[in-house]
Amino acid sequence: MRLTLVQEQTISELGKHLYDFLPGQAHPFADQLISFQGAAHAVHLGQYWQGGSKQPAVVSLLRTTLENRSDSFCDLINEIVRKALAYRNTKGTPLTREEIQSLNELLLKLSLRVSPRTVRKYLPKRLDRGRGGHVPSQRWRTFVRNQAQAIVACDFCVVVTATFRLLYVFVVMEHATRRILHTNVTAHPTAQWTLQQPREAVPRPNATCSPA
C-alpha cells in the first residue's frame, strides 16, 4: 500500500526513537540475533534489511514492511521490543517507561501499540544482587500504572433488547483517566467494522492506516 504523508512522518520519527533499542548489525563475534537485522530475520523480513548506516536502514525496514507486509508490522515491532528488553538489560540500561510510552504514542498514530503481553513475557522475573540475593522485578500492576497515559482499552459489551435482539456495543476507554473515548453499536460486528472503531477513537488528520 502507498503510505500517507502522516505515516511517512511517523515512520521517520519511529526510526529515530528505536535507534538506541538495538545495534543495527551485530559484531561478527557477537550474537547475530540481537540486532535490528536479527529481528527482521526472526519474523521473515530479512530481505527488507538493507544494512549500511543504522538509522536510514531502520527507517527503510519499517517503511518497506508497512508498505508491503503490513500484516507483519506488529510482529516486527514486538520482536524489536523483545530483543531490546534483553539487550538493554545486559548493557545495564534497561528500557524505561518513558521509552515504551513514547513508542506507544508513535504507534497509536499508525493505529498500533506494543502488546502488554509482549513486555510482561520478556521482562526479567528477578534481578540478581549477587551471592544468591534477589529482588522482585517490577509488578505488572506497577508497569501498567506507569504506562497508563499511553494505553487505550477496548472491549465489546452484549446488550439484549426488549425484543430479545442481541446488540454489540464497542467501547474504547482511556486507561489513565477512565474517560470514554468512543462507543458504537451494531447487530453484526464484522472484522472491518471492528477495525474502524479504534481509528475513530484516536483520529489522525489525513491518515488511512491498515493495522496488522
pLDDT reported for residue 183 = 92
pLDDT reported for residue 162 = 87
Per domain, the residue ranges of the chain are 5-149, 151-201
**Quick one: DSSP state of residue 95?**
P
Which grid cell is 185? Answer: 453499536
pLDDT reported for residue 30 = 47
Query: Which neighbouring-strand residues pair with 154?
Result: 172
Instruction: Say which residue the cell 528488553 belongs to.
Output: 85
pTM for this prediction: 0.54
**Quick one: DSSP state of residue 183?**
E
Burial class, 105, CB count within 10 angstroms (exposed 0-12 / middle 13-18 / buried 19+): middle
Burial class, 73, CB count within 10 angstroms (exposed 0-12 / middle 13-18 / buried 19+): buried
- pLDDT per position as a tens digit, 163-210: 888 999 999 888 778 888 889 999 998 888 888 888 888 765 444 444
Among 139, 147, 165, 62, smallest CA distance to 104 is for 147
Annotate 104-167 with DSSP letters as a single string.
HHHHHTTT----HHHHHHHS-SEEEEETTEEEEPPPHHHHHHHTGGG-EEEEEEEEE-TT--EE
- pLDDT per position as a tens digit, 88-144: 888 888 888 888 888 888 888 877 655 555 555 555 555 444 555 554 555 667 766
